[in-house]
Amino acid sequence: MIVTFLASPPASVLAPVARFVAADGWEEGLPAVIVAGAKAARFAGRAGQVFEGFADVDGVIGRLALAGTGGGDSDTDRRASLEKAGGALAGKYRTSGATQLLLDGAGLAADELASVLLALRLRLWKQDGYRTTLKDEEKASLEEILVMNAADGAQAAWEAATAIAEGVEFTRELVTEPANVLYPESFVERIRQRFAGTGVDIRVLDEKEMRSLGMGSLLGVAQGSARPPRMVVLEWRGGAADAAPLAFVGKGVTFDTGGISLKPGAGMEDMKWDMGGAGAVSGAMLTLARRKAKANVVGVLGLVENMPDGNAQRPGDVVTSMSGQTIEVINTDAEGRLVLCDALTFVQREYKPAKIVDLATLTGAIIMSLAHEYAGLFSNDDALSADLTKAGAATGDKLWRMPMGPVYDKMIDSPIADMKNVGGRFGGSITAAQFLARYIEKDADGKQTPWAHLDIAGTVWTDKPGATWDKGATGFGVRLLDALVREAE
């Protein structure tokens, strides 16, 4: 999407013109025919409402659209309302035949206009690259957004927001790709291409290196696939040289059949997005690099494919993780935690991070608890949990904190190993978090590194459009992680 800021209103307008109106007093200053038509269509200026009519403006008949911005009082509500307005415009005009849309920014502050443009761009994103039989009326036509009457600083605010857009779009690209296109090795190549010239240092560990480090847990998941595993480390150093980094760790199961504990066939195609955590970390790291974040951040991606061939891991196998702890693998479909535990150990021993946040499409149980509205938040640190919850509320990547504790931890004790990888029928997302918690190490004083686990299984993919996404990959987590880093800068 191209955005062009105009120094003055154009002499003539062929593109649809969009004006932003609040719920209170939306009729003011509008042509009578537009007001009458909008009222007849029950337009009331609510956030996300769009009405289009024709009006005579300075002797020229043109298309005039009203985009409702509602009446939210708080900054968060206002941002969400503006994003709904921008997203609604994108939904209306993406395949409308119009190649341009003219936005009238009058009345919007610089950051408010940037919110509208960000939502427009994100809502316009869609993966149509594999579709070869689209009719003309189904093809995207909108290419350029023209902006007039923009507040001072609006262009700079938008340029800053483009870093977020690029990160979210990269995450969606990764999550959307089919597993025959995106697998551990090709994931690495896409990372190399996208991060070229960004200043991010890239390190890739192959199977031999991971084996030498003792990552028996991660490698056990990968052993049934013809696709070799990889671990990717992305380092961004924008903070003080001696400052410990913030660590983001992502589960990257590029396809999950369940292994020997095979998933039901219906819906298994969705498991191409079981690498959503690694996708979110990748997009967040790209955003941080693009905006030159003043922070030290390391992202770790554990990339594997979980397949059921003759060499696949069996239920009942015992593996030794990089930490030295042993795991009885009760269910090979509880593989994400087996990948993450070695990645968590690696990042702690290599980088000694100040804080750790891991993201994973880890359990179906979290969807049973929170549906598709929130991601589950599990943490050993109240301050980090509060910071993440605040960031989620501000960006729309909503989190809900879930319980943890010894009563759940004992559910994963094994009679023949240090732990088993599933707890039982109940509390599946909690026992998964308790499993990961055993890999958060203590310092010399016996204090654990602040850590949070985000179970994003219900939020990385959607079957219905939202304010800033179409059906499919949402890009969940990128804006959340970026906001967390911004708050600490």
Nearest to 350 by CA among 298, 287, 272, 410: 298
Structure tokens at 113: 């206009």
The span from the CA of 190 to the CA of 187, in Å, is 5
- What does the domain layout of the chain look like in residue ranges? 2-152, 163-488
The span from the CA of 194 to the CA of 157, in Å, is 23
The span from the CA of 320 to the CA of 133, in Å, is 50
The span from the CA of 296 to the CA of 239, in Å, is 5
The upper half-sphere exposure of residue 476, i.e. CA atoms within 13 Å in the direction of its Cβ, equals 32
Beta bridge partners of 204: 232
Structure tokens at 420: 């088993």
What DSSP string runs through 39-62? HHTT----TT-EEEEEEEETTEEE
The span from the CA of 351 to the CA of 386, in Å, is 24
- Residue 111 neighbours by CB distance under 10 Å: 18
Per the CB < 8 A criterion, the answer to whether 376 and 400 are in contact is yes
In the set 46, 237, 263, 390, the catalytic residue is 263
H or E segment and range at residue 281: helix 276-290
Query: In a structure prediction context, what are the per-residue pLDDT tens digits for the chain, which is 489 residues long?
Result: 899 999 887 766 788 999 999 999 899 989 999 999 999 999 999 999 999 999 876 667 788 999 999 986 676 788 999 999 999 999 999 999 999 999 999 999 999 999 999 999 999 999 888 988 989 888 999 999 999 999 999 999 999 999 999 999 999 999 999 999 999 999 999 999 999 999 999 999 999 999 999 999 999 999 999 999 999 999 999 999 999 999 999 999 999 999 999 999 999 999 999 999 999 999 999 999 999 999 999 999 999 999 999 999 999 999 999 999 999 999 999 999 999 999 999 999 999 999 999 999 999 999 999 999 999 999 999 999 999 999 999 999 999 999 999 999 999 999 999 999 999 899 999 999 999 999 999 888 889 999 999 999 999 999 999 999 999 999 999 999 999 999 998
Per-residue confidence (pLDDT) for residue 129, from 0 to 100? 86
Active site includes 263? Answer: yes
pTM above 0.75, yes or no: yes
Active site includes 294? Answer: no
CATH class label, 2-152: alpha beta
Pairing of strands 472-473, 461-462: antiparallel
Per the CB < 8 A criterion, the answer to whether 53 and 38 are in contact is yes
Per the CB < 8 A criterion, the answer to whether 206 and 230 are in contact is yes
In the set 337, 355, 438, 479, the catalytic residue is 337
CATH among 3.40.50.300, 3.40.30.10, 3.40.630.10, 3.40.50.150 for 163-488: 3.40.630.10
CA-to-CA dists, residue 432 to 1, 211, 264, angstroms? 40, 24, 21
Q: Do domains 2-152 and 163-488 have the same CATH topology?
A: no
Per the CB < 8 A criterion, the answer to whether 152 and 110 are in contact is yes
The span from the CA of 18 to the CA of 113, in Å, is 12
483, amino acid identity: A
Structure tokens at 9: 């209103």
The span from the CA of 484 to the CA of 389, in Å, is 9
- Residue 176 neighbours by CB distance under 10 Å: 20
CA 207 to chain centre: 28
H or E segment and range at residue 327: strand 326-328
